[in-house]
Amino acid sequence: MSSAGAELIVGSDGRARPRWAATDPLLRDYYDTEWGLPVTDERGVFERLSLEAFQAGLSWRTILARRPGFRAAFADFEVDAVAAFDESDVARLLADERIIRQRRKIEATVRNARAAAAMRDTGGLAAFVWSFRPSTWDAPLTLHDIPTQTAESRALADGLRAQGFSFVGPTTMFALMEAIGIVDTHLPGAHRPVAAGDAHGS
């Protein structure tokens, strides 16, 4: 590998990636195939919102490594299925070693599914989240230009809390906005995947 400036690393395939995605195969594949591509379907947005909430206090690699387990444990993040979980499901999840066994986050995911289901009459979760897309966005030139939160992510966090969501702080919501393509924080010269269509659900 070689350096492409201080903030990008060129891999053996000749592609420049940010340091966080340059060496670990799991993170590199996530960056190459998913991160920053538009996600506009309910299940896709709910899954990523849920995983970002579980990531709080942990590394993103830890979450990615357990993603298949999360999908199996949470019914592939189908909103109606998760919304129907009861206390027996919470107990089951607390015993499931494939996921992060944190009661507050598990219970929040169930509540958030119920809140997401309730939003369908007013356009749905995905449309609501995307409505906070900034009207203007200055592409970052360096890592120092990338904020940890913005006015829009703070407004999104407040809006989701008002709808009954939890574990949706402004920093977590900015990470979600990056991950699903609402804001573009690719650095100049960095490899970026090409979306196969207008949406990238899973």
**Active site positions, annotated:** 30, 52, 60
DSSP characters over 59-79: -HHHHHHTHHHHHHHTGGG-H
Distance separating alpha carbons of residues 71 and 64, to the nearest angstrom: 11
Q: Report the candidate in 168, 180, 178 with the shortest Cα–Cα distance to residue 56.
A: 168
The answer to whether 68 touches 39, Cβ cutoff 8 Å, is: no
β-pairing, 2-3 with 16-18?
Answer: unpaired
* Sheet-wide strand order for 2-3: 2-3, 8-10, 16-18
Token representation of residue 154? 């703070």
The answer to whether 16 touches 9, Cβ cutoff 8 Å, is: yes
Token representation of residue 7? 């903030």
The answer to whether 79 touches 113, Cβ cutoff 8 Å, is: yes
